[in-house]
Structure 1
Amino acid sequence: MPFEFQGKHVTVAGLGVSGVPAAKVLHGLGARVTVVNDGADERARAQAAELEALGITVRLGDGDTLPDGTELIVTAPGWKPTKPLFTAAGQAGVPVWGDVELAWRLRRPDSAPWLAVTGTNGKTTTVQMLASILKAAGLRTAAVGNIGVSLLDAVTGDEQYDVLAVELSSYQLHWAPSLRAHSAAVLNLAPDHLDWHGSMEAYAADKGRIYEGNRVACVYNVADKATEDLVREADVEEGCRAIGFTLGSPAPSQLGVVDGILVDRAFVEDRHKNAQELAEVSDVNPPAPHNVANALAAAALARAFGVPAAAVRDGLRAFTPDAHRIAHVADVDGVAYVDDSKATNTHATEASLAAYESIVWIAGGLAKGATFDELVAGAAKRLRGAVLIGADRTLIREALARHAPEVPVVDLDRTDTGAMLQAVQEAQRLARPGDTVLLAPACASMDMFTNYNKRGDAFAQAVRELGA
């Protein structure tokens, strides 16, 4: 093991879903572990008590001070690189890893290779599709990383895997300098989390880390040149190939769509002349354009691992998307109500709006520094009306006034959770038979709801009350 943990003083930065398992694993490896955490609420105190019972030191309400003698920091992915703790670590020459880096370092020699996915949007769905395809091929696998099984559990537990489908955020990649995947995909790049990364360039660079050292395939989005640029800049192993995916007809070394069929012109003999049918667009659930792109990316990674074409079809057919991702809630009086609460940024919302012809759009929340002019200008012809909620709704209203002045707008001046019922009622008033009322907020939810799941649940409950 390159880093010997026995007797080393390791500081774990942050409790929660990554910090607590990391602290336990490091303690089990013989490290002297100190956990620091900014907050000291009831949940943090309960987690601290659990760790202290094992002999782990926990410091609540003090996440900025570097504990004396620290030789390594393992941080929760969301902690900003600008925190004083990391500044002090840099000055002291103390390395900083994330939970993904720790998991990578703890792999056994016979550990399963990683098929890794990142991107501004679509990561979770793509990784779940990939895991479904791998399982259809008879492989022992799990969806891990930002979802599903903990990466640390996957690499240190007793269960044996043939391959892992790994979702990685830009935060996780920032803190994972040693990661070297079998193959990886960047689905798309759009401004997001710029308050954390500092710039679009830094955000893209962290996403691009996923390609470093790839052995077999770097999968990119033909429609998003920035993803291909990241492949060109990556330092990969000899023989690693650039594989594109497109919603159009694929060129050699690409996967794409021809006459409603997902086809592979990358992992076939004589790819300049031949193509392999993988599945039908109708096998993708739901078959919205951006979700078909997710399916193609998943298929590319699976094919890079040697999965047969039939398993791609069977895996896509078996896949069921998570809630709040273009989820059809109900039809009421000829109007479809669709919950895409997971569309928390403009890029995701652009894809969601493109999936429907005539829309009453429910939007708003915390903008996270986003602007909405390009989004609104692109969707203006599809909008029957808009209902705006949340703290930063004025930004969307102003963009609508500039680029879609003919679209009727209802501005709900409230941020309580009950606003969703009124929003749905106003949307029903604006909608006509054949329309889609679409919750695709383009914003984060925390001004009104605990998370996007709660926001989507409130929307679904409001729709049910319409139909009652």
Structure 2
Amino acid sequence: MAGHQVTPLSGLSGLSGLSDPAAWSGKHITVAGLGVSGVSAARALAGLGARVTVVDGGDGEALRERAAALGAEGVTVRLGDATTLPEGTELVVTSPGWRPDSPLFAAAAEAGVDVVGDVEIAWRLRGENAAPWLAVTGTNGKTTTVQMLASILTAAGLHTAAVGNIGTPIIDVVLSQDAPGAEPYDVLAVELSSYQLHWAPSVRAHSGAVLNLAPDHLDWHGSMPAYAADKGRVFEGNQVACVYNVADPRTEHLVREADVEEGCRAIGFTLGAPAVSELGVVDGLLVDRAFVPDRQKNAQELAEVADIKPAAPHNIANALAAAALARAFGVQPAAVREGLRAFRPDAHRIAHVADIDGVAYVDDSKATNTHAAEASLAAYESIVWIAGGLAKGATFDDLVTRSAKRLRGVVLMGADRALIGEALARHAPDVPVVDLDRTDTGAMAEAVREAARLAGPGDTVLMAPACASMDMFVNYNKRGEAFAEAVHALAAGRDKDA
């Protein structure tokens, strides 16, 4: 962890001098993608007087409606062609998911045009007294941690918002501060994906956290080292704290590689007793040995494990990371406790749906990769596991090996279910497996019925698919809703039979 002053990058020719909102007037900007962040960037830049063209390879009804709305605001939209760089483009602003090897970006490179993301634009457009950013990234747990952090900051009496990859485009929040009568933010809790960090080279947070690292999106990044390097950008230029996961040495390595401001500290979090400069757990309490006087001898109680809902191991880790960032910002212990008590996770994140005949049914549809599924499986002792979907290039041997002792049965569905089935055959051959040879949305009801047949009192039927949902459902939310509906239908049927 280098200890020297880092200043924002100035080598991006397309952004030179564009920290002043007035400097965007008349600039030719191409926005790649007509999704949430693309629409946000297009509107914001058009509002600053830029000449904006949005390009998207799709041409469906929803895209045409968005295009018409933007057209009414003076934005040019080009659908069906995402490969050709519009003539006169001076800067490309990409939506996060666009791959670095996209033909549009190759054309931009050939023309000497820079490519950045909306997060970079938001950073450049912050006002002189802009709110500092507390930034969170990691393979899993980002959204929950950012929401916990925002809850803690709110409990401390600070005006804050959870923004970024969490769903509220950060550029909208930054520019909203210029609205008449707007209440300035004291601090922002910012979720940043690896995609967003890749396209945001100048961001310098007050403090940042990397929660964990596991193979994910490698088709986009090209390799695990490249993926990790993009995650590590969250630490660049940190002022007060770089928060890492003691249980994942790769996150600490990213801290050591980062260039930070003088005096910035490495702060670990652990589910065990904390060492000096760490937060951890002792006798059911979350404790701080990082932001206390005489931390060699003292520790500060922050909250009880029972204050965290649900108190699954990975969720406790999320709470510790959120607490570390809040403490780095000067938040007092009482606000940490109050914020964690007030927090409730979003739907489809290890959410308890119902108890039927002594069996708990839990929806963790958000577990879209093996790392998230392993954390979910670790939260229960005896499980009937519903899994499968789009594997995104993942392998399942490690997941099955580490979780086999907890499995009472498995129900598989989805396009890549065979990959999980093969791993189960190799590493858990005695576990009963039901293979549903279907990828229609109605398969969920059958999966729940089969899981109920395998489960007994004291078991948990856990839908933690370890795969993406798009082979069967629009998104993981719809998949979770289908699971909950199937569980409630099962309960209603049992009530009629009673």
Please, what TM-score do these two structures have when normalized by structure 2? 0.93
- Which residue matches 1:21? 40
Q: Contact 2:44–2:172 at 8 Å: present in 1 too?
A: no
Q: Contact 1:142–1:148 at 8 Å: present in 2 too?
A: no
How far does residue 58 in structure 1 lie from its aligned partner after superposition? 1.1
Is the counterpart of residue 181 in structure 1 residue 205 in structure 2?
Answer: yes
Q: How many residues align?
A: 468
- Which residue matches 1:399? 423
CA distance in 1, matches of 2:317, 2:418: 32
How far does residue 148 in structure 1 lie from its aligned partner after superposition? 4.6
Return the letter of the residue paired with 1:2: G
Bigger CA drift: 19-28 or 269-278? 19-28
- Which residue matches 1:78? 97
- Which residue matches 1:346? 370
CA distance in 2, matches of 1:101, 1:48: 24
- Which residue matches 1:315? 339
- The CA deviation string for residues 88-112 of structure 1, in whole angstroms up to 9 with x for no partner, is 1112221111010011011001110
Is the counterpart of residue 431 in structure 1 residue 455 in structure 2?
Answer: yes
- The CA deviation string for residues 406-460 of structure 1, in whole angstroms up to 9 with x for no partner, is 0000000000000000000000000010000000000000000000010010111
- Which residue matches 2:395? 371
How far does residue 149 in structure 1 lie from its aligned partner after superposition? 3.1
Return the letter of the residue paired with 1:418: G
Is the counterpart of residue 463 in structure 1 residue 487 in structure 2?
Answer: yes
Which of residues 51, 54, 57 in structure 2 aligns to 1:38? 57
Is the counterpart of residue 2 in structure 1 residue 26 in structure 2?
Answer: no
CA distance in 2, matches of 1:379, 1:50: 49
- Which residue matches 1:171? 195
- Which residue matches 1:269? 293
Return the letter of the residue paired with 1:111: A
Please, what TM-score do these two structures have when normalized by structure 1? 0.99
- The CA deviation string for residues 322-365 of structure 1, in whole angstroms up to 9 with x for no partner, is 00011000000000000000000000000000000000000000
Is the counterpart of residue 244 in structure 1 residue 253 in structure 2?
Answer: no
RMSD: 0.8
- Which residue matches 2:318? 294
Q: Contact 1:332–1:467 at 8 Å: present in 2 too?
A: yes
Calculate percent identity across the aligned residue pairs: 79
Q: Contact 1:222–1:246 at 8 Å: present in 2 too?
A: yes
Return the letter of the residue paired with 1:88: A
- Which residue matches 1:113? 132
CA distance in 1, matches of 2:409, 2:270: 31
- Which residue matches 1:63? 82
Which of residues 7, 25, 30 in structure 2 aligns to 1:11? 30
- The CA deviation string for residues 220-249 of structure 1, in whole angstroms up to 9 with x for no partner, is 000000000000001111110000000000
Is the counterpart of residue 447 in structure 1 residue 466 in structure 2?
Answer: no
Runs (5+) with no aligned partner, structure 2 = 1-15, 493-498
CA distance in 1, matches of 2:283, 2:90: 58
CA distance in 1, matches of 2:138, 2:257: 17
How far does residue 150 in structure 1 lie from its aligned partner after superposition? 2.4
Q: SS in structure 1 opposite 2:489?
A: helix
Which of residues 422, 436, 439 in structure 2 aligns to 1:412? 436
How far does residue 57 in structure 1 lie from its aligned partner after superposition? 1.2
CA distance in 1, matches of 2:66, 2:297: 59
- Which residue matches 2:71? 52
Return the letter of the residue paired with 1:73: V
Return the letter of the residue paired with 1:185: A
